[in-house]
Chain A
Amino acid sequence: MNNLLDLLISTLTQGLVYALLSYGVYITYKILDFPDLTVDGSFPLGAAVTAVMMTSGFNAWLTLPASLLAGALAGLITGIIHVRFKVRDLLAGIITMTALFSINLQIAGSNLIVDRNTATIFTSPVVEKILGSTSLITRKLVVSLIIVLLAKVVLDLYFKTKSGLLLRAVGDNSVLVTSLAKDKGTVKIIGLVISNALVALSGSIVCHEQRAFSSTMGTGQVVFGLATVIIGATLFQKFDIIKGTTAALIGSIAYKAVMQLAISLGLPANLLKLITAVLFLAILIFGNYQKKNAGRIIQKGSSHA
């Protein structure tokens, strides 16, 4: 049973670490209705910044705000390209993502590996002091859980502020935002900044966890993020009380759990993506079926927030 517990802990940790990315995609895709491809670049950006700082001897915890900042900058650039230069949303993301590929390599030099003796956020003295002699995987779980929940609480609180309310309004009905004498472009930029900051934070923690940055680690992360947000939303569409961030968090854990299940079942890796696609489709069909059933009982509703 110990094996299983370990595996559950590891899988849960993976789901948590990537949940930050899902939060980011939730903001752009669900709230802003903006398919933001910057993610494929801002995720490794966080890892690149982290790897470089760690190999240069910075304190592990400093990499988190630094990554947040770097990601925010990436989001700002996509936002400015889209809003100020009127480039279509998909293209604006592609431009930044492409540029970031080079920038990430420029920052990191090449693929980087962080030395085993360097303390990560999981092995930092503070964590060791508090969590003592617990196993590393437990520490990874606890630390990621704290960060992810903290991020969730802060986000949920933000959504309730005036600025957060305006952010939710801009994706819902941007005309209204204009009617409120607010520049909808600026609001979109704020959303992209927050989203990519979170995505880069996710990349940073993955870098801590893996002690490695690779230039290609961003490939497919947008798809992962979209999948988790949609899985989460589909699973919980009946429950209006469940917050979007919670749905994204559980979507991320569910996704990683399914991957781990596929690996544990010994399914051939070459087929993993196909299996993911099939599973994804199944969840969506199931979701539509559920919606149809629900539609008979109550009039067309909405599940958001």
Chain B
Amino acid sequence: MLELRNITKIYNPGTITEMCLFDSFDLVVGDGEFLSIVGSNGSGKTSLLNIICGSIPIEQGEVLIGGDNIAKMQDYKRYNKIGRVYQNPAMGTCPHLTILENMSLADNKGKTFGLTSGINKSRRKFYQEQLAILGLGLENKLDIKVGLLSGGQRQALALIMSTLTPIEFLILDEHTAALDPNTAEIIMQLTDKVVKEKKLTAMMVTHNLRYAAEYGNRLIMMNSGEIVLDRAGQDKLETSIDELLQLFNKISIECGN
């Protein structure tokens, strides 16, 4: 479970461009939830992810994962509990390493990177099984360098890598935004499949209202650091894209966007 309690985030504090984004912001994401977050630019979606991952500091508040407050923890340590897929497919994999090497790295997350062999041959089969979930044939290309794969293939690999070891929480940071519509669709379906199969708690930021409506079991819309819409369960299922679009346009006009 993820809890954000009383978060205050001020950009450029003490300067003329000071801007308070979050003022006593609260959010609870329960176990097994697949939460989609939508909102216009500047609404605070990405800041939210960065606050959870420790990429940006906060002025006040608590970030709890599984009950532990990680607000003061260094960013890299938080990833012991968090998996993250980025917008840019290049961020989730190492282009100069082979698929096998990339998988081995991901497989060793949370353990020591010592002087034992980097690749555990007995795990090869496991990696192939994991990659087979994607249905992209990557399981037969283990010794190919990731730089030779297409953006979609890399993103799919990044998805598998970020969920290879047990994590408390998966963050999907506009992870289909840089892909062509077809590939985006495939990756979205894969994401859904992976999240369901591995029973993950996930948080997806997206600009695609259709994805937000179709996938996941909870949806929130943000505006200026506040949640303006929060639907879960049956309510979420009944939320149409048109309704979302109307609300989205309304806020955007109010903001002058």
- A binding-site residues for B, Cβ under 8 Å: 158, 160-166, 168-169, 172-173, 175-184, 299-302, 304-305
Contacts and interface: CB of A to CB of B under 8 A. Distances in A.
Contacts of A158: 115
A74 to B, nearest CB: 23
A165 B105 contact: yes
Given A173-B90, A181-B76, A184-B76, A301 B147 contact: yes
A194 B95 CA distance: 23
26 contacts: A161-B117, A161-B118, A162-B104, A162-B113, A162-B115, A162-B116, A165-B97, A166-B105, A168-B101, A169-B105, A172-B95, A175-B91, A177-B76, A178-B76, A179-B79, A179-B92, A180-B79, A180-B108, A180-B109, A181-B77, A181-B80, A181-B109, A182-B76, A182-B113, A301-B147, A302-B145
Quick one: which of B90, B105, B114, B119 has the most chain A CB within 10 A?
Answer: B105
Contacts of B92: 175-176, 179
Nearest to B119: A160
B178 interface: no
A34 to B, nearest CB: 15
Given A168-B96, A172-B95, A172-B97, A180 B106 contact: yes
B77 A302 contact: no
B49 interface: no
A21 B110 CA distance: 34
B95 A165 contact: no
Interface of B: 74-80, 83-84, 86, 90-97, 101, 104-106, 108-110, 112-119, 145, 147-148, 162
Contact of B95 (A163, A173, A184, A299): A173
Contact of B101 (A165, A177, A184): A165
Contacts of B119: 160, 165
Contact of B86 (A162, A172, A175, A180): A175
Contact of B117 (A160, A166, A173): A160
A279 B147 CA distance: 31
Nearest to A301: B148
Given A165-B101, A182-B113, A301 B96 contact: no
Kindly list the 4 A-B residue pairs having the minimum CB-CB distance in the complex, ordered from nearest: A165-B118, A304-B96, A172-B94, A181-B79
Contacts of A181: 76-80, 109-110
B162 to A, nearest CB: 7
A27 B162 CA distance: 27
Contacts of B77: 181
Given A165-B113, A302-B147, A160 B118 contact: yes
A162 B114 contact: yes
Contacts of B83: 179
Contacts of B80: 181
A168 B97 contact: yes
A178 B147 contact: no
B135 to A, nearest CB: 23
